[in-house]
Amino acid sequence: MASTPLIGQLGPATPAKVSHVIDVTEQTFEHEVLDVSFERPVVIDFWATWCGPCKQLSPVLEQLAEEGGGQWRLAKIDVDTAPRLAQYFQAQSIPMVLAIFQGQILSQFAGALPKRDVERWLGEVFKRAGIELVKPTEPEVPSDPDKAIAFYRQRLAQHPADTKAKLALGRLLFAKGDVAAADAVLSEIPFGAPEYNAARAALALKELMAEVGAAGGEA
C-alpha cells in the first residue's frame, strides 16, 4: 500500500515526552497526532460510544500501547465529536484503525481484530516505517504474595490499561482474602480485553464462595 500524504506538509516537531494513549479532538489533532508522528508512529483508533466492536478492539489497542512502552502512540478519536476528521479519513465503518508516520498513512484496517492479529499488523507498520519494534522484557514477579501485590500495583500506576496486571493483582487479592479490593480491580477489566473471561470467572468464584459462607461454610 502506497504512503498517503496527510493534511499539508509539516516539518518535524520538537521532541517531547508524550502519553502512550490519548483522546484527540479536531482542535488537538495537528499537535497530538501529526507533530508526534515525526517522532514515532501514531495509531489512530476511530470509535464511538455506541459501537459494540469498538468496545472489543479499544482495550486491545490500549494494552498494546502500554506494553509498547512509548514506541508508538495510540490516538483515540470519537467520530461523533470529531466528524470532520472522520469524514477526512473516510471512517465510514468503525472501528477503523490507521497508522501514521512522518505525516503519512502507512497502513489501516477496519473491524475488531484479535490481539495477535493487531500485533502482526503493528509489526508490519514498523517494518514499513523502517523501525524495529522491540518487545519489552517482562520483569520478574516476586514470589512473595505481598511483594507481588505491591509489584502489580506499581505496574498499574505506570500502565493503567494493563489488563494482564489487573487480572494477576485481582487473583492475588482474592487469594489473600481482600475480596472487596479484588472485586474492584477485576471489574475494571473491560469487555473485549483478552483477560475479560478469566476476570469474570474469578468474580463468579467470589460470588460462589460468598454463597457458601452464607449457607454455613464448606461443610
* Catalytically active residues, by annotation: 51, 54
> Hey, what's the torsion of the CAs at 181, 187, 190, 196, to 10 degrees?
90
Three-class DSSP category at 23 = strand
CA 45/CA 94 separation, integer angstroms: 9
C-alpha cell at 144: 512473595
Three-class DSSP category at 201 = helix
Three-class DSSP category at 6 = coil
CA 108/CA 114 separation, integer angstroms: 15
One-letter amino acid of 211: E
Q: Angle at CA 205, nearest 5°, toward 199 and 209?
A: 150
CA 23/CA 78 separation, integer angstroms: 8
CA 91/CA 97 separation, integer angstroms: 9
C-alpha cell at 61: 489497542
